[in-house]
Each structure stands twice: as C-alpha cells, then as structure tokens.
C-alpha cells in the first residue's frame, strides 16, 4: 500500500511543480481584491471548490457557492472562481456567461488552457494533470482525473496561509469564523 501512496504523492508533486507561480499570485490578488468570491465546480472538483470556499470564509473573504440558496447574484467587482479541468462542461459554459454578463471577473482552474471555454476566462490557473476527459494512463495511473482533484486540494490548502498573510488574518481570527453549529 505504501508504494501506491508514494506514487500518488509523486504524481501530485509532478503536477504542482509545473504550476506557474505567476498564475497563483494573480489568483491570490484577484481573491484579495474581489468584493465577493463565488465558487463553482462539478463532481469531485466541486467538492474541492467548496472546501476552498470554506477556508475563504474562515479568512473573512465574502464567499458564496453557486447553487446555495443564500448565494447572492454576481455583480461587478466579484470574482467567479470556477473549476473546469477538462476544458469544457456545459454548466460551466452557461455560468461563465452569466458571470461575465453581470460584470464579474472569471478565474478558471483547468488542465486544458487551449480549449475554447478557458480562453474566455479573465485569468487561468493551469494544473497540467490528467482529467476525466482523458484516457486513463495518459499521465497518471489513477482513474478519472483523480490527480487533478488532489493537486487542486493541495494547491488551495497551500494558498490559504499566503492569503492569511495578505489579509492580515491570525489563526484566532480564522477560528472565530468557524461554525459553532456542529
């Protein structure tokens, strides 16, 4: 079993070592400067996006998740942070259009930056990983885009302390924003 874990960690490391730090920095700036960060993703990518939204809320960043009945409308000054690993999903295409029509900026996490939909985004964060749309074994021994989702999770968790510094947030301030309704 340990060899399987080492292989997965090596795949995640391979993907993250290829991420452009300028794209990460631009995303950090966009988050800090946004009025509200509205997140969206489908499937396991969506779970990662929701986990990041939770941490953004802990950081004091006004955050909403598409589909939550309390999500506000997108508007100018907002950031629509969307995951679209395979480069095209019809739901993402529709929501990008809604966000842009409302005047929000669009930041997209993708593995396929040359696809038409990612080219519509205001900014990209490229995670060069195998996606669900690619044949298994093309760059990963894991099935169905798992390494993309794992790399997203690790990258977002690494961005939290960076945002903490940029926003001047202490751990105590973050902890105070954690729900007490558990």
Q: Which residues are catalytic?
A: 149
Burial class (CB in 10 A: 0-12, 13-18, 19+), 123: middle
Q: Which element (helix H / strand E) includes 107? A: strand 105-110
Q: Angle 113-49-21 (CA atoms, 0-180°, nearest 5)?
A: 50
Q: How far apart are CA 155 and CA 125, in angstroms?
A: 11
């Amino acid at each position: 079993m340990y060899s399987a874990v080492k292989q997965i960690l090596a795949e995640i490391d391979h993907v993250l070592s290829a991420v452009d730090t300028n794209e990460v920095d631009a995303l950090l700036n966009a988050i800090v400067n946004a009025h509200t960060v509205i997140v969206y993703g489908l499937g396991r990518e969506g779970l990662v996006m929701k986990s990041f939204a939770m941490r953004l809320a802990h950081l004091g960043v006004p955050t909403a998740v598409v589909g939550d009945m309390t999500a506000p409308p997108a508007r100018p000054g907002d950031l629509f942070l969307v995951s679209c690993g395979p480069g095209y999903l019809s739901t993402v295409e529709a929501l990008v259009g809604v966000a842009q029509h409302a005047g929000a900026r669009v930041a997209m996490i993708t593995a396929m930056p040359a696809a038409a939909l990612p080219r519509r985004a205001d900014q990209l964060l490229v995670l060069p990983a195998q996606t669900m749309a690619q044949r298994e074994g093309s760059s990963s021994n894991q099935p169905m885009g798992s390494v993309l989702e794992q790399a997203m999770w690790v990258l977002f968790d690494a961005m939290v302390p960076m945002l903490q510094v940029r926003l001047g947030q202490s751990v105590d301030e973050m902890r105070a924003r954690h729900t007490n309704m558990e």
